[in-house]
C-alpha cells in the first residue's frame, strides 16, 4: 500500500509542478538560475609568495563577510576546519556587486596578491584591507559553478 501512495505522490508532483529537476528539457525556476556561489580558501602562506604551496595549510575559524555595493553586510561565515580546512562559501547570491572581506586575525598580515598562475590557489584580496570586489552577472553565474577568491595570511613581524 505504501509503494502505491509514494508512486501516486511522484506522479502528482510531475503533473502539478511540470518537470523534474534533471529531466531532459528541465529549466530551473528564475530564482535558481539567478543565484551564484562565492567561495575560496584562506591559507597560511609560509613563504609569503601569495600562492598556497605544498605543505601550506588552510586556516580554520577565520571570519569572512560578504558585503553589498553599499557596504551593508549580506552574510558572514567562518572558514571550515577538518577535511576542508580554510574553505568558506556563500551560496544563493543574486547578481550584483559585492565585496568579500576577510577579517585578519591578530598576529597575521595579508600576503601579496595576484601572483598565482591560473588555477592555483592564490591570494586575491587587497593586502592592506583583506577585501576583493566581485561583480556577479547572470552570464557569469550561468558559466561558473563557483566564483573563487582566496586569501593568504603570513605571521606578522614582531
- For residue range 111-120, what is the model confidence (pLDDT) as tens digits? 999 887 777 7
Query: Do 91 and 142 fall into the same domain?
Result: yes
What pLDDT band is residue 146 in, cutting at 50, 70 and 90?
Answer: low
3-state secondary structure of 141: helix
Question: What is residue 62's predicted lDDT score, i.e. its pLDDT?
Answer: 95
**Same domain (yes/no): 146, 86:** yes
Query: Of 66, 64, 106, 107, which is closest to residue 86 (Cα–Cα)?
Result: 64
CB 154 within 8 A of CB 45: yes
Regarding predicted confidence, which is higher, 2 or 134? 134
49 torsion bin: left (phi>0), alpha (psi -120 to 50), beta (else): alpha
Name residue 132's beta-bridge partners: 100
In the prediction, which pLDDT does 36 show? 85
Mean pLDDT for 153-158 is 84
What's the total number of domains in the chain?
2
Phi, psi of 137 (to 5 degrees): -115, 160
Cell of 113: 596578491
| Domain ranges, residue 104 | 34-155
Shared-domain flag, residues 13 and 42: no
Q: What average pLDDT does range 130-150 have in this prediction?
A: 76
Pick from 149, 142, 143, 144: nearest CA to 32: 142
Q: Quick check: 152 pLDDT over 80?
A: yes
Same domain, residue pair 25 and 85: no
Contact call for residues 155 and 107 (beta carbons, < 8 A): yes
pTM beyond 0.75: the answer is no
Report whether 89 contacts 27 (CB < 8 A). no
User: What percentage of the chain has pLDDT greater than the value 90?
Assistant: 48
Q: What is the pLDDT of residues 3-55, one digit of tens each?
A: 444 334 433 333 334 444 444 554 555 545 567 889 999 999 999 999 999 99
Amino acid at each position: 500500500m505504501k509503494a502505491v501512495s509514494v508512486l501516486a505522490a511522484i506522479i502528482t508532483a510531475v503533473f502539478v509542478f511540470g518537470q523534474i529537476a534533471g529531466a531532459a528539457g528541465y529549466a530551473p525556476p528564475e530564482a535558481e538560475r539567478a543565484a551564484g556561489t562565492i567561495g575560496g580558501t584562506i591559507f597560511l602562506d609560509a613563504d609569503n609568495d601569495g600562492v598556497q604551496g605544498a605543505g601550506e595549510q588552510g586556516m580554520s575559524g577565520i571570519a569572512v563577510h560578504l558585503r553589498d555595493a553599499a557596504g551593508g553586510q549580506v552574510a558572514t561565515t567562518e572558514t571550515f576546519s577538518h577535511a576542508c580546512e580554510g574553505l568558506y562559501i556563500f551560496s544563493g547570491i543574486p547578481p550584483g556587486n559585492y565585496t568579500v572581506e576577510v577579517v585578519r586575525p591578530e598576529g597575521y598580515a595579508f600576503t601579496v596578491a595576484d601572483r598565482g598562475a591560473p588555477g592555483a590557489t592564490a591570494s586575491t584580496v587587497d593586502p592592506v584591507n583583506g577585501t576583493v570586489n566581485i561583480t556577479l552577472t547572470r552570464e557569469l553565474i550561468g558559466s561558473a559553478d563557483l566564483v573563487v577568491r582566496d586569501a593568504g595570511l603570513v605571521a606578522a613581524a614582531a
